[in-house]
Amino acid sequence: MTAILYPVAANAELAMAAPLGRAAREREALGVAGEAVVFTTDPVGPAFATRDGAAEAYAGPVGESWARLAEQILPGQKLSPVKPVYADGRRWPAPAAAPPRTAWRLMVSYWRIATAERPIETPQARAARRARSTPDSETLRAMARQPLRPIEPQQPLDIGLFEVRPPDAPHIVMPDE
């Protein structure tokens, strides 16, 4: 099985036009970039009304395994959540008369140099939830894509996997086998 060689670049446009090199793993990408890298997927170029139009414009990159076309809902539309109806043996109501307008974008997966500027820097989801603010859809999408970070370092376990503390003497650790 052949590994996919992803471009190494500072942003998605450079990944398509002039990557520093290609790498399958982070260790290889680190060697190409000479500094820390992060694997990411970002949109590139304009949006197209049809898939055929986008496929025609990006005929070369779409054939590569690191670039794909994705349909996205256009921003600025009011989309309300649908509540289940549980009527006549159906859980969901009939779909709305007009589906939301969408556009096709090219999504490029690449090794981004970690010191390069990121389009959107987002807070952790728990911090945004505590702030009680409603972020826009692009910020929510970026928050969902970022890796989870711990609040504080994990503390070491005080007992082993096969050890227990008896309920009548919690100061004693006993093997459980």
d(CA 19, CA 127): 35
pLDDT digits (tens, 9 = 90+) for 97-109: 788 889 999 999 9
d(CA 129, CA 159): 34
Give the residue ranges of DSSP H helices in the chain.
Answer: 12-17, 26-33, 51-57, 59-62, 125-131, 137-145
pLDDT digits (tens, 9 = 90+) for 9-57: 999 999 998 999 999 999 999 999 998 898 999 998 899 999 999 999 8
pLDDT digits (tens, 9 = 90+) for 49-101: 999 999 998 888 887 889 999 999 888 888 777 788 888 888 887 777 788 88
Centre a 10 Å sphere on the Cβ of residue 92 and count the other Cβ atoms it contains: 10
Residue pair 6/111 in contact (Cβ under 8 Å)? The answer is: yes
Give the three-class secondary structure for 174. Answer: strand
Ranges of each domain in the chain: 1-76+97-119, 120-150
More confident site: 119 or 14: 14
pTM: 0.59
